[in-house]
Structure 1
Amino acid sequence: MGFADYPFTSRYQTIDGHRLHYIDEGQGPTLLFLHGNPTSSYLWRNVIKPLRDRYRCVAPDLIGFGRSDKPELDYRFLTHYHYIREFVAALDLKDVTLVLHDWGGPIGFRLAQQEPRRVARLCFMETFPFTFDWEEFPLAARPLFFAFRRQRLSYWLLQRHNLFVDLVLRLSTFRPLPRSVMAAYRAPFPDARSRYPIRVFPGELPINDRDTEAHRAIEEIERGLAGMPQPMLLLHFHPGAVLGRSRVAWLAQRLPDLEVVDGGRGLHYVPEDRPERIAEALEDWLRRRLPEPVRGALPAARVAAEDDRFGGALTWTFADTEHGGMVAAWSSHGLVMLSFAEDVDDGRAQLARRFPKASLEAADQGAIANLLAAPAATPLHLVGTPFQRAVWRALLEIPPGQTRHYGELAHALRSQARAVGSAVGSNRIALLVPCHRVVPRAGGLGGYHWGVARKKALLAAEGVKEP
């Protein structure tokens, strides 16, 4: 296939009476590619080609871009977000990895923050989930974008003369774009009217000289970065245009589970400059981040998402054990919960809080004794976020009588100790997923959901002296 080829089947989804064009290629874990200005799904063609054999690659054209309809809309940031959110809902996309560039970044980060049950991971490059000022804007581009943000000049430069495609796009790659590629980018914008969506985006940039709805929305995204649970991959290119070294460091301080990978030489439209590198880095990261089946569990275990979304049938029981009162619950795929409880009522209340949509049916009262007698034979159904499941699988590798530090697990998972600690604390399968074997590097036992005294007793029973 040639560099300009777009060998994909066009599909359309109607949102609010208007058609969004998209491609949906391959099978496997879902990757959702979001583009920015003035591109389309065409931007991602050479990234998708090597990935579609192992992944489901979905790439929409924003409303007003590519082959999507161009109705009479304001084309502001929140309008684009609305259409993408409805598109994701219409296709019922779940456990999604977002791949983001340019304006696709703020759209995708907002989606991840507002729809965390759909978005499991993010990969982003040359984008801005934050506000900034003119001092941070690339020096060479400041006069041009200053003009793009002026009412009369923007019409003349962007709608009449199509400078965003013919100048900004063309000068923002190291690789000279062939005439066939430029023709593909020009095709959706044959006249001044069709270029209005291009013209709107520069005025929406979250620069500190305007208090706009878009600026406030992206400020909200920025404030929410530190609380995002999804693992993320940032591809950093040199010299880049949007994400310089200082901003990469700024993001690394705020995002709890961020891995930064050097993408090599690139300007702004890096999927044109380095598509092979993007595909390679993304696949390597996904290979380490995507959940795998656990202890013989059926494939459904790896696609189970947030706890409160699990609405299947559960069998459950309570029993007094040598460790104290315990409640256990099973789905059709395996054990989903084994928790210490004061009594039957406390156990049922814990189940109701953790799985509010599940239907509960009583199980044999001897079931807990049976699973404790043969824990290795018990299939597990880990219900949690993909990162939580990755941490819990790491706990399964800690042998009895040994402990691990949070930092050791974080290093192995290419994450941070804080994120690992949060995932360890969310585990609700006691004993079999041995979160009691994780302790602080600084000494002491650290926390435990069911109490430090119980953690001490469990470690002592395994021959571990208090750290």
Structure 2
Amino acid sequence: MAEIQLSAGTVSYEDTGGDKPILVLIHGVAMDGTLWRHVVAKLREDFRCIVPTLPLGGHRRPMKEGADLSVAGVAGLVAEFLEQLDLRDVTLAINDWGGPLSLVAQGRDQRIGRLVITSCEAFDNFPPGVPGKNLVMSAKMPGGLNFAFQTLKLKPMRRAPMTWGWMSKRPVPHDVMDGWLSQLWKSPEIRRDLRKYILGVPPREDLMNWAEKLREFDRPALVVWAAEDKVMPPEHGRKLAELLPRSEHVEIADSYTLIPEDQPDQLSEHIRSFVLKN
């Protein structure tokens, strides 16, 4: 893992290297870049895969105390990451977390040559579904986040609808999830960072404006949605595809939100085909 200094603090990332088309793969809340491990294994021979671990709870090093870790603030770190590494004509792929869509509205999408949007927050579905609302409730209670994540040491709790049960159709391997949650279990500063994010959702008007601004993204976009998603409504995928002027839309069966976990082979092939023809 490499590290880079951004305005909010130190961010770690995986970079498979090489002079190949660049994929930057973005994970969601209380995860790290290993969400994309199966996709990276499939695509690394043909693409340079760069996978940052953002300050969304699965990170290892706390951010600066005064860092802006709101939804828009963390999305801005994605743009800063691309700028610091001087990455251009990037294919930006997101799953679960929809914050990077705001980069179009912020006018910080110049380095993005293509978008791959897989099941994620969109429109006013921030925080998303039952798991998201459970996190917000926990973040508002003193000690609530600590309690919520300590319960996930009990493996059966990981498949409850209010936690991870509706996120992936197949259980995330326990060793992978342990890695995602380890710092949330023991670091008050990491929980502080996550609390900032959870409570930093902008007003509904701003969220809807982010979506509307996608009409101005004039580069190729691929929208891949889980047909059985219980947290990110499939109709949101269809609506995003309608907004984007140069979009393709695919629904993947037998998957929930975390398509990189449930159907990495199909997702990898859709990404490969999309990038190579665009």
Give the shorter-chain TM-score range.
0.7 to 0.9
Distance 1:116 1:37, change over 3 A: closer
Q: Is 1:188 matched up with 2:183?
A: yes
Give unmatched runs, 5+ long, in structure 2: none
Q: Does 1:198 align with 2:194?
A: yes
Equivalence map 1:338-377=2 (5 Å): none
Counterparts of 1:27-426 in structure 2, within 5 Å, are 27=18, 28-63=20-55, 65-71=57-63, 72=65, 73-103=67-97, 105-107=98-100, 109-113=101-105, 114-132=107-125, 138=129, 141=131, 144=134, 147-148=137-138, 151-152=140-141, 155-162=142-149, 167=158, 168-169=163-164, 171-191=166-186, 193=188, 194-205=190-201, 211=203, 215-289=204-278
- Counterpart contact for 1:34–1:101, Cα < 8 Å: yes
Cα distance in 1 for residues equivalent to 2:220 and 2:151: 33
- Closer, same or farther: CA 248–29 of 1 in aligned 2, 3 Å: same
- The answer to whether the Cα contact below 8 Å between 1:160 and 1:191 also exists between their aligned partners in 2 is no
What CA distance in whole angstroms lies between the structure 1 residues aligned with 2:132 and 2:260? Answer: 23
Q: Deviations over 1:380-427 (max 9, x none)?
A: xxxxxxxxxxxxxxxxxxxxxxxxxxxxxxxxxxxxxxxxxxxxxxxx
Q: How does the TM-score come out when normalised to structure 1?
A: 0.52
Classify 1:196/1:159 alpha carbon distance in 2 versus 1 (closer, same or farther; 3 Å).
Answer: farther
Contact 2:14 2:51 in 1 (8 A): yes
Instruction: String of CA shifts for 1:178-212, please: whole Å, max 9, x gaps.
Output: 22122221223232512233334443446xxxx3x
Q: Which runs of 5+ in 1 are unaligned?
A: 1-9, 290-467
Could you tell me how far apart the structure 2 residues matched to 1:238 and 1:269 are? 12
SS for the counterpart of 2:253 is strand
**Is residue 96–residue 118 contact of structure 1 (8 Å, CA) maintained in 2?**
yes
Cα contact 1:233–1:260 (8 A) shared by 2: yes
In 2: Cα distance, 1:36 partner to 1:164 partner: 20
Verify the 8 A CA contact 1:50 1:279 in the aligned structure 2. yes
Distance in 2 separating the partners of 1:262 and 1:284: 15
| Alpha-carbon distance between aligned partners in 1 of 2:117 and 2:126, rounded to the nearest angstrom | 21
Q: Which has the higher contact order (CA 8 A, sep 6+)?
A: 2
Cα gap change, 1:163 to 1:232, in 2 (>3 Å): farther
Change (3 A) 1:45 1:205: same
In structure 2, relative to structure 1, the CA distance for the partners of 1:38 and 1:164 (3 Å cut) is farther
How far, CA to CA, are the matches of 2:151 and 2:122 in structure 1? 22
Moved over 6 A (4+): none
Count of matched residue positions in the alignment of Structure 1 and Structure 2: 265
Instruction: Name the CA shift for 1:264/1:76 in 2 (closer, same or farther; >3 Å).
Output: same
Q: Which moved more, 1:163-172 or 1:62-71?
A: 163-172
Query: 2: distance between equivalents of 1:237 and 1:164?
Result: 28
SS of residue paired to 1:189: helix
Aligned-pair identity (%):
23
Deviations 1:12-59 (A, max 9, x none): 111237211001114301111111201111111111111111101111
- Structure-2 residue corresponding to 1:352: none
Secondary structure at the aligned position of 2:42 is classed as: coil
> How many Å separate the matches in 2 of 1:173 and 1:164?
18
Query: Residue 87 of structure 2: SS of its match in structure 1?
Result: coil
Structure 1 residue identity aligned to 2:199 = G
Change (3 A) 1:287 1:222: same
